[in-house]
């Protein structure tokens, strides 16, 4: 009897009680400007609809998680290992879908199919699966483009290259002209073939741009396409680059952006940079073929999240990954949205260049080739760089 009363009482108390759910994210990445407005939108929506759910955003910055992304990931890993329910919604770099997959809920079991279908025809296929479980949905997609110094192109009356050979010819010509003017710091091209994580991105997309047709998959490692790609890379280093320039990392790119003494630079697509610089898809072996590696973040649900909060968590998850939020904050803000159908909507195409976003040919990194992606990537880079920078 007493137990029954207590149960009924607690039921009554729980009605109207606010459920607090916690999301965790790292501020030093491409989505950093979006997390807070997303959370704020949800809380307004919750308030206006009497959902009684509050979403708390725990945003780690470089101050409290130190500057390297891996520290954020290390923190997540240790929470998962402790089966912690501290955070319900987890934003994580999509290269970690395999690593964190075992600790994230399979969305196919809890999120309605029509919601997931918005994503499953697109890039989510490449970045959100752990075995056959869907362990996240993509938020912003980061990708690489060719940044172009249009003043120089105009000065020398040249056009934007669509193939690697065109890029070499144009670069060689303008480099020579600039040297005649004693411009010894001029950099005609850099593709970030560095030893850092960006190196594997550069290698993967470069090789992908050598596939036979737009529809072909990533070439087999032992294929002629890979051999051709590696020789072209070396030819480019010899004709329009150097070991020092090719090995440099993003700091060097930032320096060239600020001194403007360059022609072409491969770098992550950032809407803010496109205000002053021209961009185009990266060239390929022939016109119409290109490649751009996939970066960015997923949002997943912690499998240790308190089951009593489950409905609230699902509610928030659906809101944050809704088409409306993607349209308002991602597509219309000139970011690449993983909901590709948005690029068929007039409302979006009135404000952004839908054809450009549709033309990007995305390729995922080899994150599922091994249990230890970082080790696999290091090995891959080492083998290619022995050829590129060695005497072979
Ligand atoms: C939220 O709480 C109010 C009372 O505080 C209640 O009337 C309402 O039904 C609750 N909403 C939900 C979705 O439980
Ligand atoms: C949420 O509501 C508050 C108060 O009405 C408002 O100041 C804020 O701009 C809203 N946030 C968003 C993202 O709409
Ligand atoms: C990290 O530090 C910032 C600035 O001190 C603070 O606003 C934020 O709440 C901290 N984040 C977490 C998750 O502790
Ligand atoms: C620029 O190049 C185009 C085609 O390559 C040529 O037709 C045109 O005459 C050139 N313009 C100048 C000013 O040299
Ligand atoms: C480049 O430097 C050389 C040697 O210092 C000089 O003779 C030449 O006039 C310079 N050319 C230009 C275009 O400034």
Nearest to 124 by CA among 97, 163, 146: 97
Q: Which residue has the CA at smallest separation from atom 1 of ligand 5?
A: 182
Domain identity same for 187 and 62: no
The preferred substitution site among 25, 32, 64, 86 for testing ligand 3, maximizing ligand atoms within 8 Å of CB, is 64
Q: What's the whole-number average pLDDT of the chain?
A: 91
Instruction: Report the distance separating Cα 64 and Cα 42, nearest Å.
Output: 25
Domain identity same for 252 and 378: yes
Q: Which residues contact 268 (CB under 8 A, 6 or more apart)?
A: 30, 142, 143, 144, 145, 295
Say whether pLDDT at 6 is over 50: no
In the structure, which protein residues have their CB atom closer than 6 angstroms to any atom of ligand 2?
Answer: 37, 40-41, 44
Please write the tens of the pLDDT for every residue from 267-280. Answer: 999 988 998 899 99
Instruction: Report the distance separating Cα 313 and Cα 191, nearest Å.
Output: 41
The preferred substitution site among 44, 46, 54 for testing ligand 2, maximizing ligand atoms within 8 Å of CB, is 44
For residue 177, what is the domain's CATH number?
3.40.190.10
Q: Which residue has the CA at smallest separation from atom 14 of ligand 3?
A: 60
Does residue 64 have its Cβ closer than 6 Å to ligand 3? yes
Domain identity same for 55 and 121: yes
pLDDT confidence of residue 317: 98
Question: In this structure, is residue 314 part of a structural domain?
Answer: yes
Q: Which residue has the CA at smallest separation from atom 1 of ligand 2?
A: 44
DSSP class of residue 104 equals: B
Domain identity same for 315 and 377: no
Q: Which residues contact 27 (CB under 8 A, 6 or more apart)?
A: 35, 59, 60, 61, 62
Q: Which residue has the CA at smallest separation from atom 4 of ligand 2?
A: 44
pLDDT confidence of residue 140: 86
Cα–ligand 1 centroid distance for 361 (angstroms): 47
How sure is the predictor about 27, in pLDDT bands with cuts at 50, 70 and 90? confident
Domain identity same for 303 and 203: no
- Give the chain's domain count: 2
Nearest to 118 by CA among 330, 325, 341, 326: 341
The preferred substitution site among 17, 46, 52 for testing ligand 1, maximizing ligand atoms within 8 Å of CB, is 52
Cα–ligand 1 centroid distance for 110 (angstroms): 23
pLDDT above 90 as % of the chain = 81
Please write the tens of the pLDDT for every residue from 168-191. Answer: 999 999 999 999 999 999 999 999
pLDDT confidence of residue 54: 97
The CA distances from residue 349 to 107, 118, 331, 333, in Å, are: 30, 18, 9, 11
Specify the higher pLDDT residue, 135 or 7. Answer: 135
Q: Which residues contact 8 (CB under 8 A, 6 or more apart)?
A: none
Question: In this structure, is residue 364 part of a structural domain?
Answer: no
- Vertex 145: Cα angle to 139 and 149 (nearest 5): 135
Nearest to 31 by CA among 128, 126, 137: 137
The minimum-distance atom of ligand 2 relative to the CA of 41 is 13
CA 128 from centroid of its chain's CA atoms: 12
Domain identity same for 135 and 11: yes
Q: Which two tokens stand for residue 297?
A: 């973040």
Q: Which residues contact 68 (CB under 8 A, 6 or more apart)?
A: none
Domain identity same for 275 and 286: yes
Say whether pLDDT at 11 is over 50: no
Does residue 182 have its Cβ closer than 6 Å to ligand 5? yes
Cα–ligand 5 centroid distance for 149 (angstroms): 24
Tell me the pTM.
0.86
Instruction: Report the distance separating Cα 265 and Cα 283, nearest Å.
Output: 12
Question: In this structure, is residue 46 part of a structural domain?
Answer: yes
Domain identity same for 312 and 273: no
The preferred substitution site among 11, 12, 16 for testing ligand 1, maximizing ligand atoms within 8 Å of CB, is 16
Q: Which domain holds residue 100?
A: 2-140+296-358
Instruction: Report the distance separating Cα 198 and Cα 236, nearest Å.
Output: 18
Q: Which residue has the CA at smallest separation from atom 12 of ligand 1?
A: 51
Q: Nearest ligand, CA of residue 328?
A: 2
Average pLDDT over every residue of 98-121: 96
Domain identity same for 77 and 210: no
DSSP class of residue 147 equals: E
Please write the tens of the pLDDT for every residue from 224-235. Answer: 999 999 999 999
Cα–ligand 5 centroid distance for 65 (angstroms): 51
Query: If you search the block for the tokens 């075992």, which residue do you land on?
Result: 102
pLDDT confidence of residue 64: 56
Does residue 184 have its Cβ closer than 6 Å to ligand 5? no
Nearest to 261 by CA among 323, 187, 198, 357: 187
Instruction: Report the distance separating Cα 206 and Cα 249, nearest Å.
Output: 16
Where are the strands (E) in the chain, listed by range? 19-26, 53-60, 89-93, 129-130, 133-134, 137-142, 144-148, 187-190, 262-268, 278-280, 292-293, 295-301, 362-363
Cα–ligand 4 centroid distance for 279 (angstroms): 22
Q: Nearest ligand, CA of residue 173?
A: 4
pLDDT above 70 as % of the chain = 92
The minimum-distance atom of ligand 1 relative to the CA of 52 is 1
Please write the tens of the pLDDT for every residue from 289-321. Answer: 999 999 999 999 999 999 999 999 999 999 999
Domain identity same for 163 and 280: yes
Question: In this structure, is residue 379 part of a structural domain?
Answer: yes
Domain identity same for 312 and 263: no
Average pLDDT over every residue of 203-218: 96
In the structure, which protein residues have their CB atom closer than 6 angstroms to any atom of ligand 1?
Answer: 16, 50-52
CA 169 from centroid of its chain's CA atoms: 31
DSSP class of residue 54 equals: E
Domain identity same for 205 and 87: no
């Amino acid at each position: 009897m007493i137990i029954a009363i207590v149960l009924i009482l607690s039921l009554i108390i729980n009605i109207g009680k606010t459920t607090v759910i916690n999301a965790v994210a790292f501020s030093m990445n491409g989505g950093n400007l979006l997390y807070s407005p997303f959370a704020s939108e949800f809380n307004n929506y919750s308030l206006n609809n009497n959902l009684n759910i509050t979403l708390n955003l725990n945003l780690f910055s470089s101050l409290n998680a130190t500057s390297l992304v891996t520290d954020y990931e290390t923190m997540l890993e240790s929470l998962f290992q402790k089966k912690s329910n501290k955070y319900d919604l987890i934003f994580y770099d999509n290269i970690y879908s395999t690593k964190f997959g075992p600790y994230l809920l399979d969305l196919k079991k809890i999120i309605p199919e029509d919601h997931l279908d918005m994503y499953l025809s697109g890039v989510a296929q490449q970045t959100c699966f752990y075995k056959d479980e869907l362990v996240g949905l993509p938020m912003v997609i980061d990708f690489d483009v060719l940044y172009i110094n249009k003043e120089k192109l105009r000065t020398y009356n040249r056009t934007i290259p669509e193939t690697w050979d065109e890029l070499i010819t144009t670069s060689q010509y303008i480099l020579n002209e600039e040297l005649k003017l004693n411009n010894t710091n001029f950099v005609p091209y850099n593709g970030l073939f560095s030893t850092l994580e960006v190196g594997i991105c550069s290698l993967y997309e470069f090789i992908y741009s050598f596939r036979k047709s737009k529809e072909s998959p990533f070439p087999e490692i032992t294929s002629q396409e890979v051999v051709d790609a590696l020789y072209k890379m070396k030819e480019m280093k010899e004709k329009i680059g150097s070991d020092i320039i090719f090995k440099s990392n993003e700091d060097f790119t930032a320096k060239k952006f600020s001194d403007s003494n360059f022609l072409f630079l491969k770098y992550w697509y950032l809407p803010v940079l496109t205000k002053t610089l021209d961009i185009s898809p990266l060239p390929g072996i022939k016109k119409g073929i290109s490649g751009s590696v996939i970066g960015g973040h997923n949002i997943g649900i912690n499998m240790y999240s308190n089951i009593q909060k489950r409905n609230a968590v699902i509610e928030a998850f659906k809101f944050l990954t809704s088409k409306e939020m993607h349209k308002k904050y991602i597509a219309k803000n000139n970011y690449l949205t993983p909901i590709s159908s948005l690029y068929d909507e007039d409302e979006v195409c009135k404000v952004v260049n839908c054809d450009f976003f549709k033309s990007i040919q995305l390729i995922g990194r080899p994150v599922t080739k091994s249990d230890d992606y970082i080790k696999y990537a290091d090995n891959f880079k080492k083998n290619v760089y022995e050829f590129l920078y060695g005497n072979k």
